[in-house]
Amino acid sequence: MIRPFARLLSAAVLIALFLPVVQAVAQQQVPPAPDSSAQQAPAAPAEPAAEPSAPTPAAAPVFPKPDPASFTAASPTKETVDAFLTANWGFDESRVWQVEAILKTASEGVSKVVIYLGDKSGKEKPGAIAFFVMPDGKHVISGDTIIPFGEHPFAEYRQMLQDRADGPYRGSASKDLEIVEFADFQCPHCKEAQANMDKLVAEFPKARIVFQLFPIAAIHPQAVRAAEYGLCVNQLGGSSAFFQYAAAVFDGQEGLANTDGATLTINSAVVKAGLDPEKVAACAATPEIKARVDASIKLAIDIGIDAVPTLVVNGREIPANAPYDTLKKIVEFQAKLDGVSLQ
């Protein structure tokens, strides 16, 4: 099975196709889609060349030689596709691929790209997968997912976050390496992800690690209120007070199950952050704070996030509760790709 192009669903998680395969769970803003991880990967086109059957690997795969007749589209170029795949998969040194075809389609400006994918160890059976590049040259469609495309596929989202991610942060004031966590205080998987976040803060002191609020009111009715109070804690007490508040809310998360419990939990967290609950409540009731929460939600939607917890590393999305070693490897790779020194 060609896992890197599969979207895994576990406990209502939806992971974008070009993200690494990880055992992660999340809370979604929308109902879960059917599990596509069980579906077969798209086959290579029958014309102009049929897909050869992939041999059972014993070592690194040897891919069939590409047929020049399979490159009928003017764009994208093979070099652009390779750069795109390197940006997405280059962190994994075991992954190997070959661009097999870039084909015109019946839709003007839409190209079909077919690649062979395997791993150096030969543990996974190599196979063919396909995706479609849109006429703007900036997006890919694979299944029902739209993914940024190009030699620098994450650049647009990186700039958007540098301009608009305004949540409390830890670490460096510089945005050269910016890790934005989109989270919901009532989401249990966000609570679990905080261990990863603390490790990232410790291991990447040159990173700016932002907590960006993304309350999903449809499934977490107390999350918006917790977010509003959080913004006021940050406004009145600074980022140190905010992260004390956040830790206390996550610790008492079960109390958010109903309105009265949420009042006790949130007020207790405010006190632990060293602030007066009445002053914070007055701040949280203002239109300005509601507008800031709405703007944070809109930012998440604008960059295509529909589940929490999600990290965005210089524009690249990663499930925040992925195995920490995977997160660390991707952060290091993305920093290298963007020319950011970690020393």
Beta strand 127-133 pairing with 208-213: unpaired
**CA of 2: how far to CAs of 43, 67, 97, 130, 142, in Å?**
11, 22, 11, 11, 13
Q: Quick one: pLDDT at residue 55?
A: 53
Residue 190 inside a domain? The answer is yes
Predicted confidence band of residue 25 (pLDDT cuts 50, 70, 90): low
Closest by Cα among 219, 226, 289 to 255: 226
Q: Are residues 267 and 249 in the same domain?
A: yes
Displacement of CA 303 from its chain's centroid (Å) = 10
For residue 156, pLDDT over 60 is answered with yes
pLDDT single digits (tens) 69-98: 999 999 999 999 999 999 999 999 999 999
> Out of 1-10, 144-153, 175-184, 268-277, which region has the weakest mean confidence (pLDDT)?
1-10
pLDDT single digits (tens) 306-327: 899 999 999 999 999 999 999 9
User: What pTM was estimated for this model as a whole?
Assistant: 0.83
Which are the contacts of 57, defined by CB distance < 8 A and separation ≥ 6? 118, 122, 123, 124, 125, 126
Number of domains in the chain: 2
Q: Quick one: pLDDT at residue 60?
A: 83
Structural domain that includes position 87: 41-153
Beta strand 208-213 pairing with 178-183: parallel
Q: Quick one: pLDDT at residue 24?
A: 52
Domain-ending residue, one of 110, 125, 153: 153
Predicted confidence band of residue 53 (pLDDT cuts 50, 70, 90): low
Rg of the chain (C-alpha set): 22
Closest by Cα among 324, 331, 328 to 178: 331
Residue 269 parent element (H or E): helix 259-272
Q: Quick one: pLDDT at residue 70?
A: 96
Predicted confidence band of residue 43 (pLDDT cuts 50, 70, 90): very low
Residue 213 in contact with residue 232, Cβ under 8 Å? Answer: no
Q: Are residues 211 and 133 in the same domain?
A: no
Mean pLDDT of 270-299: 98
**If you average pLDDT over every residue of the chain, what do you get?**
86
Q: Are residues 124 and 86 in the same domain?
A: yes
Q: What is the CATH number of the domain that holds 201?
A: 3.40.30.10
Residue 223 inside a domain? The answer is yes
Q: Are residues 131 and 192 in the same domain?
A: no
Residue 181 in contact with residue 150, Cβ under 8 Å? Answer: no
For residue 47, pLDDT over 60 is answered with no
